[in-house]
Structure 1
Amino acid sequence: MGSHAAPHHHRKAFLVASAVVLTAAGLLGLPRADGAPAAADAADACRTTSVNLPRGDCGPFWQVLAEDFNGDVVPLGAFSDCEHDVDTSAAYCGGLSGSYRDNWWAYPTGWRDTANDRGRDVVGVYHPEDTVSVGPAADGDGRMTIRMWRPADGGPVHAAAVVPRAVMEMAYGKYSARIKVTKVAPGYKSAWLHYGGGCEMDHPEGEWTGSLTAFHHPCGGGEQGSFPGSDDWTEWHTVSTEWTPGHVRFFVDGRQIGQDTREVPDQPLSWVLQNESALEGPGAAPGSSAQLDITWVAAYAYDWG
C-alpha cells in the first residue's frame, strides 16, 4: 500500500552474520529461530508508554537519533534544494543548516506522489519547501509540522516526504515517532515506509480521516500482511516499527498491532516519513489543507551483539 516517488537504488551495507541462541532471543524479546514471536513480544522493546521522547538504548537496539524539535526553528522555505545525492545516505537539502541539514532530507520538489500511478483524479507533487517547517506549537512544544494543501485553482496537492538521514540505507532497526493530525480534511494520507527490492513495510499508513494501519509486503510477493487498527489519526499516538532479522513488528502506544515473519527484507533500506494525496475515497478539495504534527522522532540501529 506504500508508494514510490521515484526509482530508488540502495547501496549494499556491510552486514555481520549472526546466529541467535533461542534462550537469549526469548530474554531479549527477539524472534525465535523458528519464526514464532518470543514471550516478551507483548510490548515494544522500549516499553514506550510515556508521551516524552525516549532516550537511550533498549533491548537489541541502540539509539542513533533522538529529536524533540525543541531546538532551532526551521521556517517554511528551508526544506529546499534537496536534489543533492538523492535517495542515498549522502543526500541533503541545501536550504537547511546546522543539525537539520545533518539529520534530515526530503523528497525534492517536483517528484510525483503515488496517486500519479493509480489513476486518481487528484494527485500530488512533493513540495517540501512550502509544506514542512519546525517550531513551537501554541503551548511551546517543539514540533515538525507537515501541512499539505491543494491550490484553490485545483492543481496537484502539495505533498511532503521527509527522511531521517541517520537511518538511511540501514538494515534492521527500531523506528518511532509521536504524531497527531491536528487539522483533518478528506484527500490526505500518510504511508511511512521502508521499501526496495520488492520488499515493503508500511507503518503507519492510511487516509487521515480514517485509522492507523500497518502493512507488510513480503519480499518474494504473495499476500500482504494487513494490520488495521482502531486508533484515530486525530489523537496523539506513539507509532513504532521494529525490524530484526526475519521479523517485523508494528506497535501503537507500546502495544503490538501486527507482526510478520514471511520474507522480511534483509537489505539496507531507508525510513521515509511519506505524506501525500489520498489513494482511497474523495480527493482533496481545491483550496483545502490538512496538517500532521510530529512532536518527537527516535531511531535505533540493530545491535548484532
Structure 2
Amino acid sequence: MGTHAAPRTRRPTLFAALGACLLGALFGIPRADGAPRSGDACRTTGPAMPRGDCGPFWQVLAEDFEGDRVPLGSFRDCDHHVDTSAAYCGGLSGSYRDNWWAYPTGWRDTANDRRRAVAGVYHPEDTVSVGPAENGDGRLRIRMWRPDDGGPVHAAAVVPRAVMQMKYGKYSARIKVTQLAPGYKSAWLHYGGGCEMDHPEGEWTGTLSAFHHPCGGGEQGYYHGADDWTEWHTVSTEWTPGRVRFFVDGRQVGHDTRNVPNRPLSWVLQNESALEGPTAAPGSSAKLEVTWVTAYAYGWK
C-alpha cells in the first residue's frame, strides 16, 4: 500500500523556531507562545482515565487495557479493508478485534521516503501487545526493535477503529517511554487531503511536541509540549470547526486556526524509526507504554 506516514514533520532548529515565532508575531500566525493555559474540555490532567461526555464532545472510546491480555503475535493478518472503518486484524478476537486495527506487516514507515540510512517496516505482530504492568495496571505496549543483523526497524502503528474517518473530535491518551534508545520516535496523527495534525510527535530521546500543517500548505505550526518522553504525560488534541488545540497534562501548549481540516480523518497512533539524529543500532529496542486511550465525537448536543 506504500508509505503511510507523516510527511514533512520536523522538529525545527532553534533558529527556525525563533524565525517562526517572529513570523507569527508579524502575520498573526497562532503559536504556542503565550497560549492560554486553560485545561482541556474534560480537564484531563492526571493518571485516571476520563469517563463520560464533556463540553461539546461525546465519548465514543474509553480503553484502559484492563481486559483480556493480547500477547505478541495477535496483531497479525491486518490486511483487511485497510484504511477504512471496516479494517481489522484477523489475529485479534473479542473487543480488541472490534476496537483496534494496525498497519499491516510490510508497509514502510516515513524514514523510507526520507532516504534515511536506517528505515523501518511495520510489523504489528512482533511489536504490539497488551498486558498488566508490575503494579497490575493494564498497558498497551509498543516495543520497536532492530534485528541483530542490521535489518530495518520493526515499527508499529495502531488505529482505534471507533474514530476512523471521523470529522472533528477530541483524542487523548496517557503515555510513557519505559525503555529508551536512540533511533525511535512517535508521530500520532490525523492526515489526508493535504492536511495534517501531529500530537504527540518527536524522537523519543528528544522533546515531545505537536505540529499543525495547514491544509493546502503554508508554514507548519510547532508547539513544544514536554521535555522528556520518559515521564508519564497525558496528551490531548481537540479538533473543532476552524480550530485545533493541543494539550499536555491539561495545559494548552498550542492552537491554530489556519486552514484546519474540515474532512473526516483517522487517528493513527504511529510509532516508527527516527527521522532526525542517530539511527537505531543493530540489536537495539525501545518501548512506549499506554495506560489508557479515549476519543470523542464532536457536536453531540
Q: Same fold (TM over 0.5)?
A: yes
Question: Structure 2: which 5+ runs fail to align?
Answer: 7-29
Matches within 5 A, 1:108-257: 108-257=104-253
In structure 2, the residue matched to 1:283 is 279
Post-superposition Cα deviations, 1:159-217, rounded to whole Å, max 9, x if no partner, equal: 00000000000000000000000000000000000000000000000000011100000
Separation in 1, partners of 2:275, 2:3: 14
Matched, 1:96 2:95: no
User: 1:48, CA displacement in angstroms?
Assistant: 1.2
Residue 129 of structure 1 aligns with an amino acid whose one-letter code is E
Alignment counterpart, residue 82 of structure 1, candidates 75, 78, 81:
78
User: 1:49, CA displacement in angstroms?
Assistant: 2.1
Residue 176 of structure 1 aligns with an amino acid whose one-letter code is S
Question: Structure 1: which 5+ runs fail to align?
Answer: 9-34
Post-superposition Cα deviations, 1:132-163, rounded to whole Å, max 9, x if no partner, equal: 00000111110000000000000000000000
Residue 3 of structure 2 aligns with an amino acid whose one-letter code is A
User: Among the aligned pairs, what percent are the same residue?
Assistant: 81
C-alpha distance 295-207 of structure 1, shift in aligned 2 (>3 A): same
Separation in 1, partners of 2:241, 2:265: 13
SS at match of 2:162: helix
User: 1:41, CA displacement in angstroms?
Assistant: 7.0
| 8 Å Cα contact 2:177/2:229 also seen in 1 | yes
Deviating above 4 A after TM superposition, structure 1's stretches of 4 or more consecutive aligned residues are: none
| 8 Å Cα contact 2:246/2:253 also seen in 1 | yes
Separation in 2, partners of 1:284, 1:53: 33
What is the root-mean-square deviation in Å for CA atoms of aligned residues? 1.9
| 8 Å Cα contact 2:4/2:110 also seen in 1 | no
Separation in 1, partners of 2:295, 2:183: 29
TM-score normalized by structure 2? 0.88
Residue 214 of structure 1 aligns with an amino acid whose one-letter code is A
Post-superposition Cα deviations, 1:71-93, rounded to whole Å, max 9, x if no partner, equal: 00000000000000000000000
In structure 1, the residue matched to 2:21 is none
